[in-house]
Amino acid sequence: MAIRKKSTKSPPVLSHEFILQNHADIVSCVAMVFLLGLMFEITAKASIIFVTLQYNVTLPATEEQATESASLYYYGIKDLATVFFYMLVAIIIHAIIQEYVLDKINRRMHFSKTKHSKFNESGQLSAFYLFSCIWGTFILISENYISDPTILWRAYPHNLMTFQMKFFYISQLAYWFHAFPELYFQKTKKEDIPRQLVYIGLYLFHIAGAYLLNLNHLGLVLLVLHYFVEFLFHISRLFYFSDEKYQKGFSLWAVLFVLGRLLTLILSVLTVGFGLARAENQKLDFSAGNFNVLAVRIAVLASICITQAFMMWKFINFQLRRWREHSAFQAPTVKKKPTVTKGRSSRKGTENGVNGTVTSNGADSPRNRKEKSS
């Protein structure tokens, strides 16, 4: 009876494209379950919690707006379900950009493994930052934030939000929550995971803080400002990967980064330190969403200042590292022409010299004197 030998062949290694397509299909199926649930009366109530925004309030028309009634929103525990659904949407969009845009560019450019991961990171973030900047700027213009800066602290608490404002914050939270599973899907290196977790955590901490403390007006302005500066950095890095001589974008980003940090501190101190500090209602009221008390204001300003100081520290280290690399690359490497003696080739001189230059010890060595005497 013949004994079958066990196969010693190792299982085929899954390619990056296959893993990406596999997890995108799974997430798409899960998202479709919620969408299909809207079609049936039994599951519609549960699916609506995930797909649509919750906690809406319809305000009656006023004298200024006699024709239309305003529909505003506030936050609640059901927002977690909405964030989860749009986190799935963010994973799907991430996969589409990766497969149909970034992977095609990577095949043409033939990047190394290090540049490959950094190019993917900058490609994804630049698309997100650009979209968020345009969306956030549209909200700022439509709600007259630019023409009237006092709206940042006037009539606090800002517990009622427009549809665009709430959907913006839900989308921001969903995107940065989706970054956690993407660390696994993109097979991020172990040494890069701590850095990724730090800045993902910082984004979630500040966005969720502005959302829960009803500082959504200030948070929107600071996010648009910060995203614009970060978009410039990542788009400059994309151009740098295509042409390493491109450095102008980094110089402009360095200037705007410092100005962005200063403007962030100025707006934060002006809103929290002066605007809210002079408000009449300074009582802690969870039901009304009022957190305008001294302890909360100090905590908000402290978190913003510490984060800006941390970012400046990372920025200074980054600039010093780039300066050292640039100095090492521009180090003087000019070679002096070797001194050639009569009847001798330059090759003899280079054997006794350093970097092609004949040393005095080599030229006056006993061996050379013996050759001259002969």
List the chain domain ranges: 52-59+69-328
Tell me what pLDDT residue 201 has: 96
Query: Alpha-carbon distance 101 to 200, whole Å?
Result: 24
pTM of structure: 0.81
Tell me what pLDDT residue 52 has: 94
Tell me what pLDDT residue 16 has: 52
- Helix, strand, coil abundance in the chain, percent, nearest 5: 65, 5, 30
Tell me what pLDDT residue 25 has: 82
Give the residue with greater pLDDT, 282 vs 294.
Answer: 294
CB under 8 Å, gap of 24 or more: what pairs does 351-359 form? none
Decide if pLDDT at 2 tops 60. no
Tell me what pLDDT residue 334 has: 46
The three-point CA angle 270-276-281 to 5° equals 170
Tell me what pLDDT residue 351 has: 42
- Give which of 278, 282, 298 is closest to 290, Cα–Cα: 282
Tell me what pLDDT residue 20 has: 52
Tell me what pLDDT residue 357 has: 40
Tell me what pLDDT residue 72 has: 93
Decide if pLDDT at 373 tops 50. no
- Give which of 364, 4, 371, 23 is closest to 185, Cα–Cα: 23
Q: Which residues pair with 285 in a beta bridge?
A: 290
Tell me what pLDDT residue 229 has: 96
Tokens describing residue 176: 């940065």
Tell me whether the omega of the peptide bond preceding residue 157 falls within 30 degrees of 0, making it cis. yes
Give the residue with greater pLDDT, 248 vs 292.
Answer: 292
Query: Alpha-carbon distance 216 to 159, whole Å?
Result: 9
CB under 8 Å, gap of 24 or more: what pairs does 100-109 form? 103/16, 103/17, 109/241, 109/242
- Across the chain, what does the average pLDDT equal? 83
What's the pLDDT band for 235 if we cut at 50, 70, 90? very high
Tell me what the mean pLDDT of segment 63-80 comes to.
80
Tell me what the mean pLDDT of segment 329-334 comes to.
61
Asked whether 232 and 256 are in contact (CB, 8 A), the reply is yes
Decide if pLDDT at 157 tops 50. yes
Within a 10 A sphere around the Cβ of 47, how many other Cβ atoms?
19
Decide if pLDDT at 5 tops 80. no
Give the residue with greater pLDDT, 207 vs 340.
Answer: 207
Tell me what pLDDT residue 17 has: 56
What is the percentage of the chain residues whose pLDDT exceeds 90? Answer: 54
Asked whether 52 and 217 are in contact (CB, 8 A), the reply is no
Tell me what the mean pLDDT of segment 138-162 comes to.
89
Compute CA distances 128 → 116, 120, 134, 136, 357, whole Å: 19, 12, 10, 12, 55
Query: Mapping DSSP to helix (H, G, I), strand (E, B) and coil, where does residue 5 land?
Result: coil
Query: Which range among 21-30, 202-211, 313-322, 327-336 shows the weakest confidence by mean pLDDT?
Result: 327-336
What's the pLDDT band for 365 if we cut at 50, 70, 90? very low
Tell me what the mean pLDDT of segment 116-122 comes to.
90
Decide if pLDDT at 361 tops 50. no
Tell me what the mean pLDDT of segment 7-19 comes to.
50
Tell me what pLDDT residue 290 has: 92
Biggest alpha carbon–alpha carbon distance for the chain? 115
Tell me what pLDDT residue 155 has: 85
Exposed, middle or buried, 345 (CB in 10 Å: 0-12/13-18/19+)?
exposed
The pLDDT tens digits for 30-67 are 899 999 999 998 999 999 999 999 999 988 766 555 45
Tell me what pLDDT residue 326 has: 73
What single DSSP character describes residue 270? I
Tell me what pLDDT residue 65 has: 54
Compute CA distances 57 → 71, 161, 162, 292, whole Å: 6, 10, 10, 23
Decide if pLDDT at 360 tops 50. no
Tell me what pLDDT residue 358 has: 40
Q: At what angle do helices 163-185 and 216-242 cross, to 10 degrees?
A: 40
Decide if pLDDT at 18 tops 50. yes
